[in-house]
Chains A and B, each alone.
Chain A
Amino acid sequence: MFEYAPAPESRAVVELKPSYGLFIDGEFVDPLDGGSFTSINPATEEVLSEVAEAGPDDVDRAVRAARRAYAEVWGPMPGRDRAKYLFRIARIIQERSRELAVLESLDNGKPIRESRDVDLPLVAAHFFYHAGWADKLAYAGLGPNPRPLGVAGQVIPWNFPLLMLAWKIAPALATGNTVVLKPAETTPLTALRFAEICQQADLPPGVVNIVTGAGKTGQAVVEHPDVDKVAFTGSTEVGRQIARAVAGTRKKLTLELGGKAANIVFEDAPLDQAVEGIINGIFFNQGHVCCAGSRLLVQESVYDEVLAALKRRMARLRVGDPLDKNTDVGAINSAAQLARIRELSEAGTAEGAERWSPPCDLPDRGFWFAPTIFTGVSQSHRIAREEIFGPVLSVLTFRTPAEAVEKANNTPYGLSAGIWTEKGSRILWLADRLRAGVVWANTFNRFDPTSPFGGYKESGYGREGGRHGLEAYLDV
């Protein structure tokens, strides 16, 4: 047996303070009402830091700082100068990428291999890409004189804490807006580290403000009357509430919400790569991915072999310490999320689907869930309809391309989809018919700052990334 010895990434690159304040107007400040919460390492339940909780008055302070910075500094600043700040931030992120990757894995539970090889490179790339837009907005095809909106209130999730921050802040700043951002309550630490990077970059005070807290803080950001733009990534249910809250206001809204993507495997697929794509589609980031390929649709003629290959491959997944460089699947982000995954998985069993996980030793402490597949799933099962947001795959079958399209689209969501076949014309036929904002053909879960991302239907509206993503932050 080739047992890999533990290969832990060193924690020494991350120095954590016992407590963090709010980042408002270029400074770390204490919250006005003194509230705080702790952020823990979900792999060990160890407390990492105490973090300030922003109340409505703190949010108001942050919005006022952002407004002032917008009116006096960032709005009037020439695009080429804004660009230089963003380039500077991108470079600092590259220089401090190991530290940020380790901290991300500590706070989020994701494997260091992913935070190191996926999250952080994309974060830096996102700032680089948008930096270049700052002085070229008139050429973006969005009208001759696109104007910033003003103050952007942004609320981001816990699954890709720093990457979602980059998706929000980079385009907002490039287009001349200032920002009040609320990171998720279970993963605030890399956002606070980003605040330090803003200081290191000498970004003018107030351009970026970071207010930590939970749902109430987010609500205060979204509902603040002096916010011009709201951008949210998270659950469809909260997205709905936000859409209601901004109804009748002038606020421009973009939402990136849930998904229940179909990953469709045809009999003529490149099977080994398809299996990798299925694995990556659902077990990447513990399945805490809005565009996860959580519904596998397999053509019946290859069902047995795909399933056998998938199980064999799942048995190779290394679940455990997120900081071990060989870990493939890390910790579930929180006790609450673990409870939801368990609840839906139990519903899967109760509704008659067959559950399977490879033999897998899970640590005693922390939040863990073994990679799991359900077979014998039908469209009516909860595990085929509801977003589980965990390492749980529902396997369904189809016989014809038309049936695959019908099943794939039979959901209120429409974020992403996967197609596996070596027949080019079938890919294009299918891609035209899938109601999803991102279609990955013979690949899955690929991201790039130049490539717009966002959903159809209840997966939200607006795009992030690419030329299209600029529109969300411009008055065009």
Chain B
Amino acid sequence: MSERVAVRKTYKLFIGGKFPRSESGRSYPVQNTNVSLASRKDVRDAVQAARAAVAGWSGATAYNRGQVLYRVAEMLEGRRDQFVGLGVPTVEVDEAIDRWVWYAGWADKIAQVYGNANPVAGPYFNLSAPEPTGVVGVVAPAEPALLGLVSVVAPTIVTGNTVVVLVAETAPLPAVTLAEVLATSDLPGGVVNLLTGRPAETAPWLAGHMDVNALDLTGVTDPGFAAELERAAAGNLKRVLRPPAGPVDWYADPGLGRMTAFLETKTVWHPKGI
């Protein structure tokens, strides 16, 4: 009996819940596989998809978002072997799954921890509560490929933001596989958009895009490039999360910072009277 010929997977982009090839028709090889090489127009399409998803995702109940994130963990658990097969260490896959679970639980707690009533000196109800910033552009870290990606995406979307993620050039395969997890996790299309290719080429388009509200530069390792992107982000005063100053322990308690970086505080006043 001859050996079965395997069905190979085409690694494509993830935009608006679908898996298109790059509109440019370009690809680049990684581990003997051709991976889509996203263009500026793919950035444009991804931002459009992310913007379209904001109302539904940010308007969903926190309970619902928490369940969706937990569903991602469930789906990821079922596909552990795929990631291991791509070379992701078991311990990293486990931590990535647990990270989804951790953030899933934050969905309906962050407003309680990060918002509060304000005792103003007058007859007013006054409440400050966090709201998502909107569309967040993310330059994902190259290492660790899966845990790093999950650690920047999960905290950003759990609060109701949508993301356009530029996956590190060297580590696209776990990202596209994660996209397949997301696509089967009840996550509405457009909440997470993943672009493989060269962030050095696409990041400036994302940083300068006037319909992107914030920028996470965690994956940018060249300080000069980070500064250039931050300057471009100033065009519409994007909130910018700068690259970490030193090495990051991705296995440590992540804290609230990655959630609060992409939250706006809204304060509502109303008189109290009869």
Q: Mark A residues whose CB is within 8 Å of B.
A: 125, 141, 143, 236, 239-240, 243-244, 247-248, 250, 255, 257, 412, 427, 431, 436-443, 446, 448, 450-454, 456-458, 460-461, 463, 466-468, 471, 476
The 8 Å CB contact of A243, one of B213, B234, B267, B271, is B234
B269 touches A443 (CB 8 A): yes
Q: Please, how many angstroms separate the alpha-carbon atoms of A125 and B122 in the complex? A: 13
Taking CB atoms and an 8 Å cut-off, the chain B residues in 224-274 that contact chain A are 224, 226-228, 230-231, 233-237, 239-240, 245, 255, 257, 260, 264-271
CB B25 to nearest CB in A, in angstroms, measures 34
Known contacts A244-B231, A244-B234, A448-B121: does B270 contact A441 (CB below 8 Å)?
yes
Q: Which of B133, B269, B271 has the most CB of A within 10 A?
A: B269
Docked Cα-Cα span, A453 to B271, in Å, equals 18
Q: Given the complex, which residues of B lie within 8 Å of A467, measured CB to CB?
A: 116
Quick check: is B119 within 8 A (CB to CB) of the other chain? yes
Give the Cβ gap from B167 to chain A, nearest Cβ, in Å: 23
B107 CB to nearest chain A CB (Å): 17
Q: Could you name 7 residue pairs across A and B whose Cβ atoms are closer than 8 Å?
A: A143-B255, A248-B226, A436-B266, A446-B269, A448-B122, A466-B116, A476-B257
B34 interface residue per 8 A CB criterion: no
- 6 smallest A-B Cβ distances: which pairs? A248-B227, A247-B230, A243-B234, A448-B120, A450-B118, A247-B231
Task: Kindly list chain A residues whose C-beta atoms are within 8 Å of the C-beta of B235.
Answer: 240
Q: Considering the chains assembled together, what is the distance between the CA atoms of A316 and B120 in angstroms?
A: 30
CA separation between A157 and B39, bound complex, in Å? 42
Asked if A448 meets B237 with Cβ closer than 8 Å, knowing A248-B227, A454-B265, the reply is no
Neighbour of A450 across the interface among B120, B133, B228, B271, CB < 8 A: B120
Could you tell me the distance between the alpha carbons of A453 and B231 in the complex, rounded to whole angstroms?
A: 25
Contact A452 B268, CB 8 Å, known A446-B122, A457-B236: no
- Give me 9 other A-B pairs in contact (C-beta within 8 A), A451-B126, A456-B133 excluded: A239-B237, A243-B230, A243-B234, A243-B237, A446-B124, A448-B120, A450-B126, A452-B118, A457-B213
Contact at A427–B270, with CB atoms within 8 Å? Answer: yes
Binary contact track B192-229/A, C-beta < 8 Å → 1, others 0: 00000000000000000000010000000001101110
Q: Is B113 an interface residue (CB 8 A)?
A: yes
Most chain B CB within 10 A, of A248, A431, A439, is at: A248
A280 to B127, CA, bound (A): 22
- The docked-state distance in angstroms from the alpha carbon of A461 to that of B239 is 7
Q: Decide if B267 touches A443 in the complex (CB within 8 Å).
A: no
How many chain B residues touch A (CB < 8 A): the figure is: 39
Query: Do A437 and B267 have beta carbons less than 8 Å apart?
Result: yes
Task: Determine how close the nearest CB of chain B comes to the CB of A143; give it in whole angstroms.
Answer: 7
Tell me whether A141 and B113 are in contact in the complex, defined as CB-CB below 8 angstroms, given that A437-B265, A452-B118, A452-B267 are known contacts.
Answer: yes
Instruction: From the candidates A248, A442, A450, A458, name the one contacting B236 in the complex (CB within 8 A).
Output: A458
Residue of A nearest to B234 (CB): A243
Q: Which residues of B contact A248 (CB under 8 A)?
A: 223-224, 226-228, 230-231
A247 to B224, CA, bound (A): 10
Find the B residue at minimum CB distance from A122.
B121
Asked if B237 contacts A240 (CB within 8 A), the reply is yes
Q: Report which residue of B119, B236, B268, B271 has the largest number of chain A beta carbons within 10 angstroms of its beta carbon.
A: B268
B27 interfacial contact with A, CB 8 Å: no
Is B128 engaged at the interface, CB distance under 8 Å to the other chain? Answer: yes
B264–A437 CB distance below 8 A: yes
Contacts of B226 in A (CB 8 A): 248
Report chain B residues within 8 Å CB of A441.
268-270
- Across the interface, do A247 and B234 meet the contact criterion of CB distance under 8 Å? yes
Q: How far is the CA of A451 from the CA of B268 in the complex (A)?
A: 9
Residues in A neighbouring B271, C-beta threshold 8 A: 442-443
**B58's closest neighbor in chain A, by CB?**
A432
Closest Cβ–Cβ distance, residue A469 to chain B (whole Å) = 10
Among residues of A, the one whose C-beta sits closest to the C-beta of B115 is A468
Interface centre among B235, B266, B270 (most CB of A within 10 A): B266
CB distance from B48 to the nearest CB of A (A): 18
Q: Which residue of B lies closest to A453 (CB)?
A: B267
With A247-B231, A446-B120 already in contact, the answer to whether A438 and B237 are too (CB < 8 A) is no
Give Cα A244 to B128, complex, Å. Answer: 29
Cα A459 to Cα B245 in complex, Å, equals: 28
Q: Are A240 and B264 in contact, CB atoms less than 8 angstroms apart?
A: no
Nearest neighbor of B114 in chain A, beta-carbon distance: A141
Contact of B268 among A141, A431, A460 (CB under 8 A): A431
- Minimum CB–CB distance for A155 against chain B, Å: 16
Determine if B268 and A439 form an interchain contact, defined as CB atoms under 8 angstroms apart: yes
- Inter-chain contact B264/A456, CB cutoff 8 Å: yes
| Cβ–Cβ contact B128 & A451, under 8 A | yes
- Which residues of the partner chain B approach A236 to less than 8 Å between Cβ atoms? 237
Contact of A451 among B118, B231, B237, B240 (CB under 8 A): B118
Partner of B121 from A125, A437, A438, A452 at Cβ < 8 Å: A125
- In the complex the two chains form, is A250's CB within 8 Å of B239's CB? no
Residue of B nearest to A252 (CB): B242
Please, how many angstroms separate the alpha-carbon atoms of A450 and B124 in the complex?
12
Report the minimum CB–CB distance from B266 to chain A (whole Å): 6
Q: How far is the CB of B245 from chain A (nearest CB, A)?
A: 7
Task: Give Cα A378 to B267, complex, Å.
Answer: 28
Give chain A residues whose Cβ lies under 8 Å from the Cβ of B231. Answer: 243-244, 247-248
B114 proximity list for chain A (CB < 8 A): 141
Interface centre among A239, A244, A412 (most CB of B within 10 A): A244
Residues in B with CB closer than 8 Å to A451 are 118, 120, 126, 128, 267, 269
Measured CB to CB, the closest approach of chain B to A198, in angstroms, equals 25
Contacts of B120 in A (CB 8 A): 446, 448, 450-451
Closest to B121 in A: A448
Residue of A nearest to B239 (CB): A461
**Separation in Å of the A149 CB from the closest CB of chain B?**
13
List chain B residues, Cβ under 8 A from A439.
266-269
Write the chain B residue with the least CB distance to A121. Answer: B121
Q: Which of B55-77 contact A (CB under 8 A)?
A: none
A117 to chain B, nearest CB (A): 13
B residues less than 8 Å from A468 (CB atoms): 128, 265
Contacts of A243 in B (CB 8 A): 230-231, 233-234, 237
Contacts of A427 in B (CB 8 A): 270
Quote the shortest CB–CB distance from A121 to chain B (angstroms). 9
- Residues of B contacting A431 with CB < 8 Å? 266, 268
Task: Give the shortest distance, in Å, between A350 (CB) and chain B (any CB).
Answer: 27
B113, B230, B237: the one contacting A457 at CB < 8 Å is B237
Q: How far is the CA of A463 from the CA of B120 in the complex (A)?
A: 16
A255 touching B267 by the CB < 8 A rule? no
Q: Mark B120-152, 1 if CB is under 8 A from A, else 0.
A: 111010101000010000000000000000000
Nearest CB of B to A210, in Å? 27
